[in-house]
Amino acid sequence: MKASCEIAIVGSGFAGSLLARILARLGYDVILLERGTHPRFAIGESSTPLANLSLERLALRYGLEDCYALSTHGRWLAKYAHLRRGLKRGFTFYRHHPGRAFENRGLDSERLLVAASPDDSIADSHWFRADVDHHFVREAVAAGVDYRDNVSLTIADFSSARAELSGSRRGENFSIRASFVIDASGPGGFLARQLAIPSGLDATLTRASLIFGHFDDVRLMADVVPDLPAGPYPDDWAAVHHVLDEGWMYSLRFDSGITSAGFLLTPHGRASLRADGQDATTLWQQLLARYPTIGEVFAKARPTMPLAFRPLIQHRLTRAAGERWVLMPHAYAFVDALFSTGIAWALRAVERLALMFEAVARNGRIPLGAALERYEALLRREADQIDRVVAGAYKAMSSFDLFCAQAMFYFGAVSFAEASQRLSPDDQVAWRGFLGVGDAVLEDLPRESLQRLDRTLSLRGSVEASGARDDFTRWIRSAIQSRNVAGLADPGRHNLYPVDFDALIAAHDLLGMTRRHVIAMLPALRGSPRPATAPASVKGPIPPSLFT
């Protein structure tokens, strides 16, 4: 183990490895320290269009051919078929009720499908994290990162001149001096402990427990509930969400046949199931028995790993950066898997940190005060925003029409961001806030939505209840109107939303573009054009296949 480096990154999930590799590309001397080994299981698998946009931008800016390929399902299959993944065409939601099979009521079924891509070739993917994270580590090593696994770090000392990390590896003690430390340890919370960063969880709204695993032989919902009206894509090739009385369940199907699935239980759900003290398998079976259609889907499923239970998945810190250190999003905060925000948020932070280091690569080498404060302030607002959007969705789960309306905020915000980032890209895109943060129209809506949901739900059981729910739906529709480029919140769609280019073209003025300009830019929705030459800032060989 060397005695010094410029940047030490703790944690080799995809975020730590990718950032390590980019910094090495920029000419930094980087060490990447991992407490475990690869390949290893990791949770958090379902990617999204905004995640893929970040991946593509990183690819094109730093000459990372694999990132470009992995940013669409078609390119992934063509070039990296050995890395397991699953086709994700969109977000599928079903509302189930205890003791009752999911009811096929045609277009009135409690079912919401929102397409994220128009076809399979440019679709998103679920990442089989054991393969994908291992790949990113190998690429980091190939780019010159000094990667060490099986590391047990015990001390992080910060002075105004440097940081010092100490610990042991395979029985040998070591100590490394670094100019800067990046904590990518996720919920491992390395710097949270070392710097005694106070928790900020008390000020947040979302709470959930988790039972999860990977399974073989999970049936398709389309086979268990046949003849549902055709949606914009096959229901099961998506991030499938089963909304329940006790919380919700995710089900992500990999192309290899394995399915990743987990129940997220609210404190109320956990109490009503008397979950405490039960083992994960018993709890899992109890939930399958309670929801017959899910029970059928998983009737023959065989876990490929022991089922696991986590009593609380949320964490949140009060600091995300300081002198000579910074936290990646997953080390700073985690809210919930609903709406798959984690990968996109992590990759956005990789972009921001890479830009911060790029800006000082010739002068100073490490980001200082104002840059770190900007990073921290944005992360804080974004963590709050994710929390409010998810907390609103949890509140709305009791009534599927409210839930669908609340979900329209998420889909409105991300589809507007995707369209504007793809159609009018600029160098500052990475610094735009996530989920409407910094957007004068969108930023405050989740807060208002929470208040409106409370009022609406307080009328439950009264004669005004149904009218209040309709009012909420109408309010969301009008609140997102000036950002609605995807034809969302349209009752005529019966909760089945394809990717609608006509709606996008019709919404050209919302994007500040002429109709003709939007039409001319439509090919950009299938992938960013590749640059003709290699980016100047990057050192080392760049795969020629990346460039036109």
Ligand X SMILES: Cc1cc2nc3c(=O)[nH]c(=O)nc-3n(C[C@H](O)[C@H](O)[C@H](O)COP(=O)(O)OP(=O)(O)OC[C@H]3O[C@@H](n4cnc5c(N)ncnc54)[C@H](O)[C@@H]3O)c2cc1C
Contacts with ligand X by CB under 6 A lie at 10-16, 33-36, 42-46, 151, 153, 184-186, 188, 190, 210, 262, 313, 328, 330, 334, 337, 340-344, 346
Matching residue, tokens 């939303």: 497
Torsion of CA 330, 336, 340, 343, to 10 degrees: 0
Residue 236: helix, strand or coil by DSSP? coil
Question: What is the nearest approach in angstroms of ligand X to the Cβ of residue 143?
Answer: 17
- Please state, in angstroms and rounded to a whole number, the distance separating the CA atoms of residues 276 and 64: 46
CA-closest candidate to residue 445, choices 487, 411, 490, 422: 411
Alpha-helix residue ranges (DSSP H) falling in 63-103: 65-70, 73-80
Judged by beta carbon, residue 258 or residue 504, the one nearer ligand X is 258
**Nearest to ligand X of 330, 380 (CB atom):** 330
Structure tokens at 525: 């929705």
Nearer to ligand X, 319 or 330 (CB): 330
User: Rounded CA gap, 214 and 380, in Å?
Assistant: 32
CA 546 to CA 74: how far, in whole Å?
16
Retrieve residue 73's tokens. Answer: 């399902």
Cis amide prior to 198 (ω within 30 degrees) = no
Candidates 193, 190, 181; CA nearest to 32 is 181
Closest by CA position to 41, among listed 250, 262, 214, 261: 214
* The token pair that represents 349 in the structure block: 């932070």
Q: Which residue is nearest to ligand X (CB)?
A: 44
Residue closer to ligand X (CB basis): 76 or 472 = 76
Q: How far is the CB of 34 from ligand X (least distance, A)?
A: 5
Q: Minimum distance from CB of 187 to ligand X (Å)?
A: 6
Select 248 or 357, whichever has its Cβ closest to ligand X: 248
Q: What is the dihedral of CA 154, 157, 162, 167, to 10 degrees?
A: -20
Residue 33 CB, shortest distance to ligand X, in Å, is 5
Shortest Å, Cβ 42 to ligand X:
5
Q: Which of 114, 75, 68, 61 is nearest to 405 (CA)?
A: 114
CA nearest to 340, candidates 251, 425, 258: 251
| Cα gap 296→495, rounded to integer Å | 24
Instruction: Please report how close the Cβ of residue 379 comes to ligand X at its closest, in angstroms.
Output: 12
Distant-in-sequence, close-in-space partners of 177: CB < 8 Å, separation ≥ 6: 3, 4, 5, 162, 163, 164
CB 94 within 8 A of CB 241: yes
CB of 487 to ligand X, least distance (A): 25
Residue 88 or residue 508: which is nearer to ligand X going by CB? 88
Nearest residue (CB) to ligand X, 181 versus 476:
181
CB atoms within 10 A of CB 505: 16
Nearest Cα to 284, choosing from 208, 212, 207? 212
Query: Would you say 75 or 348 has its CB closer to ligand X?
Result: 348
Q: Which is nearer to ligand X, 260 or 495 (CB)?
A: 260
Least Å from the CB of residue 240 to ligand X:
11
- Specify the residue, 9 or 511, whose C-beta has the smaller distance to ligand X: 9
Residue 340 C-beta: closest distance to ligand X, Å: 4
- Between 221 and 338, name the residue whose CB sits nearer to ligand X: 338
User: From the CB of 51, what's the least distance to ligand X, in Å?
Assistant: 6
The CB-of-314 to ligand X minimum distance in angstroms stands at 9
Query: What type of residue sits at position 534?
Result: A
Local structure of residue 528 (DSSP, 8 states): P
